[in-house]
A and B are shown apart, each in its own frame.
Chain A
Amino acid sequence: MADQSAPSDKYTVAVNRGFTKTIAKKLGLPRPAILRRYTPDAPLTVGPVLVVSDDASAGDADALAKALLAWDVDVRRSTEGAGDVRWGGVVLVGTSAESPEAVSEAVLTLGSTLRRLAGNGRVVVVSRAPEAGDSPAVAATRAGFEGFTRSVGKELRAGATANGVQLTGGAAVDSASALGTLRFFLSAKSAYVDGQVLPVGPSDTPEDLNWEQPLAGKVAVVTGAARGIGAAIARTLARDGAKVVVVDVPAAGESLAAVANEIKGTSVQLDVTADDAGTKILEATRHLGGIDILVHNAGILRDKLLANMKPAQWDAVIAVNLASQLRINEQLLAAGVEGLRIVSLASTSGIAGNKGQTNYAYSKSGVIGHTAATAPLVAQLGGTANAVAPGFIETEMTRSIPFATREVGRRIIPSLQQGGLPLDVAEAIAFLSSPVAHGVNGQVLRVCGQSMLGK
């Protein structure tokens, strides 16, 4: 299988190696880190993990520490005696804090470790979402963690990231989905996910969690899988054990067949805008035992300033990026597919807006909208619907962007000072499709290296 984790961006490689590294250092140039990506046999984190909490949350912190131990992580509950340890991660637990003052000590302890946080280290803040009926003080305490997490993300360097697990609906801190999300954020699989606070609700705990092959026995359909991000998603789902059906337009059939044969999947040449695309997808998965995971990745660009936009340019983008997803979801829901896990590709453009991309942004914003509305519908049948919003990803498409624009997208906007890889998007999708992420529903997970573009 192709090496999906090699950085394709020459600048990032240059400032991390030899003579060019020295020059970059002296000139004070931005020095993006080489991000650590997942390999099956590597340890979960790059070093020991510290779990800190306020006093009220100590029980939850202990529960998490216990889970980390079970994953063979070197877990510490205090910095005492740590000496010159380089932390692989710090988990701040504030789930039971009831006043802003109560969290000061834990937060400052976290602060005291940041200078000793290893490259590609992880900060994960575990908190509870403010909910109706919270007292103002509790609501303030809980909401505070969101801005805090994003700010920590912006202070971290050397490929380290800060993300948040935000428990909702009374989910237990050691419920399967809370632990699964924590593990995702601690792992190298979240290399390009930074500054994200992901709400996690209660979930059915699956028996025997398989962390190596989380998708074993599952059947996944990936649209737009002939190349780029779609092909990376297909490869990653296959790596995680899924039987993958790759879908793309007939014209892309040659590379689609190559992807299918590489991952021992099956190819279906199908235009997702066809009226019966959902039915065709059901037919194509029947001989594999039915569909478990659907990744709506197919998407097109027809950039034009709105003033110059032709109907064909607008309509094509809406048809492929948005209307097709609605129709396919409707057909799958009507067929009563149980436990269906849907992940749709949104985009940071859909959140922040982008000049020349009114059509694209409408479609991607629309994806976020239908994901929220589809979530309760699929939940009735035990499924989930989520979206992933990639930021600047190094693909054939972004390689065609003019140099200056590309460099702004890569270096200046994201905290990680680089573009992500298709693999990074694929990892987030594999996580959201996995049994352990069952408690994550109706959410948008950004894979953007903490791009400042946003609402």
Chain B
Amino acid sequence: MSTTPSPVPSTREAVIIGGNRIPFSRAGKKYVRTSNQDMFTAALEGLVARFGLQGERLGEVAGGAVLKHSKNFNLIRESVLGSSLAPTTPAYDVQQACATGLEAAIAVTNKIKLGQIESAIAGGTDTVSDAPIVVSDRLRAALLDANHAKTTGAKIKALLSVRPKDLAPATPSTGEPRTHLSMGEHQAITTAKWGISREAQDEIAYNSHQNLARAWESGFFDDLVTPFKGLTRDDNMRPDTSLEKLAKLKPVFGTKLGESATMTAGNSTPLTDGASAVLFSSREWAEERDLPILAKFVDAETAAVDFVHGHEGLLMAPAAAVPRLLARNGLTLEDIDFFEIHEAFASTVLTTLAAWEDEEYCRTELGLDGAFGKIDRSKLNVNGSSLAAGHPFAATGGRIIATAAKLVAAKAAETGRPARALISVCAAGGLGAVAVVESV
């Protein structure tokens, strides 16, 4: 891997004005029979209301969903049409597994920086409760053949090829198509490889719940979340959980690895429904409207790893992306005030941190001169992350960006010095997207 920094392009700034999301809900609870479009429209409507954007033609809205019906081919555009934004606001769908929301933000902020657009919303939505159910490949083939057949006889012949077992639907799966392993099984291998302890994972999970609950109590989310369908807070949050309770849970991933199985339902994110949206613009656009500017979206980087052949763990791409991003921007880990590392699993955070602290890994895999460094744990996911809030795949990026922007704005206001947040999101397919957000 090359560590040669790419030149930082000289363009104008893209700023973050604010964000909005609906409370995240565990699959099968509050948002049962609520579509991705309903949820993303609700997230948009809350954002429009917060900043008085009714009838406004934005540069564009970009976002997506990981689990998506084929009928939602224009999910984001349809959501815009159902919102109070001007119907002349263009939109498009993006999909990059769990990094969808962050990738959408990277796309729109790049356009803002280039001067192609002045304003944009990026976000995402996902529902497991309303996930598409797909018919089996054999049934699908028979139906397509019957549809293409020219004669009645040929149609009947095609349909007669269907066998009872073909009628069973193919349920949605987040398993990796090339390895047939679930994300949890993949991460269990990485966890074992790095020797991450059960206690360390449970501590990450415990902190996530405590931090998120404290943020809710302090009113941090008052201008970041709009209630939806009677839900006013993230319902996965367990402020009353304890390290003792977490320690009692049985491992659910990596159980075939024997003694070393450490990943439980407590230190892994549950399947979740939700949607989020973030408003970006050029500085001029925000200033013309006297809208508050929380932070600027400085730069971003994506990476991918070869997990298929077992060379690297599925969720380790951010470990490679972050050093590249920081180097390009002349930053080190010491320059970061807040680390927002998406908790796909508690161990994802820990294996990433362990990798950065490992001299050999950093030399051989990241091409660095030595260990990338150790982060100050008190700066990690200070207002909770996905283990507590839940993780509606495409909605996580927007949740983190809005939280990070508000954190750096408050920190800068408090200290009078610039503050920075590093955002890191791992994704299926061995992908990762990372970004730096800085106070203005």
Residues of A participating in the B interface, judged by any CB pair closer than 8 Å: 243, 250-254, 256-258, 260-261, 264-271, 274, 286-288
Contacts and interface: CB of A to CB of B under 8 A. Distances in A.
A269 B292 contact: no
A287 B51 CA distance: 10
Interface in B216-242: 219, 221-223, 225-229, 232
Contact of B232 (A250, A274, A287): A250
Contacts of A271: 219
Given A253-B226, A254-B226, A286-B290, A265 B46 contact: no
B291 interface: yes
Interface residues of B, number: 25
B52 interface: yes
Nearest to A255: B227
Contact of B227 (A252, A260, A265): A252
Given A253-B46, A269-B223, A270-B222, A264 B52 contact: yes
A251 B227 contact: yes
B294 to A, nearest CB: 13
Contacts of A288: 52, 290
Nearest to B47: A257
Contacts of A254: 42, 46, 226-229
B84 A261 contact: yes
A253 B228 CA distance: 8
Contact of B52 (A252, A265, A274): A265
Given A257-B45, A261-B45, A266 B50 contact: yes
A249 B48 CA distance: 18
Contact of A269 (B48, B84, B226): B226
Contacts of B178: none
Interface in B364-392: none
A274 B49 contact: no
Interface of B: 42, 45-46, 48-52, 54-55, 84, 219, 221-223, 225-229, 232, 289-292
A250 B222 contact: yes
A261 B219 contact: no
B220 to A, nearest CB: 11
Nearest to A256: B49
Given A253-B227, A287-B290, A266 B219 contact: no
B134 to A, nearest CB: 32
Given A253-B226, A261-B84, A269-B222, A287 B292 contact: yes
Contacts, number: 67
B291 A287 contact: yes
B50 A264 contact: no
10 contacts: A250-B221, A253-B46, A253-B225, A253-B232, A254-B226, A257-B48, A258-B45, A261-B48, A266-B49, A267-B46
The winner among A252, A260, A268 for most chain B CB atoms within 10 A is A260
A238 to B, nearest CB: 11
Nearest to B228: A254
Given A253-B227, A270-B222, A274-B219, A260 B290 contact: no
Contacts of B49: 256-258, 260-261, 265-267
A250 B215 CA distance: 14
A258 to B, nearest CB: 7
A1 to B, nearest CB: 13
Contacts of B232: 250-251, 253
B231 to A, nearest CB: 9
B50 A267 contact: yes
Contact of A264 (B46, B54, B226, B228): B54
Nearest to B46: A257
A-B pairs, 6 with minimum CB distance: A287-B290, A257-B49, A260-B49, A267-B49, A266-B52, A261-B84
Given A260-B52, A266-B49, 8 more contacts: A250-B219, A250-B225, A254-B226, A258-B49, A261-B54, A264-B52, A267-B49, A286-B290
The winner among A257, A258, A270, A287 for most chain B CB atoms within 10 A is A257
A286 B232 CA distance: 27
A264 B222 contact: no
A23 to B, nearest CB: 43
A256 B223 CA distance: 13
Nearest to A261: B84
A265 B219 CA distance: 22
Nearest to A287: B290
A274 B219 CA distance: 10
Nearest to A245: B52
Contacts of A274: 219
A433 B340 CA distance: 47
Nearest to B229: A254
A90 B227 CA distance: 51
Contacts of A257: 45-46, 48-50, 226
A274 B218 CA distance: 11
A328 B333 CA distance: 43
The winner among B48, B49, B221, B228 for most chain A CB atoms within 10 A is B49
B112 to A, nearest CB: 20
A267 B225 CA distance: 12
Contacts of B223: 268-269
Contacts of B42: 254
Contacts of A265: 49, 52
Contacts of B84: 261
A2 B222 CA distance: 27
A270 B226 CA distance: 12
Nearest to B221: A250
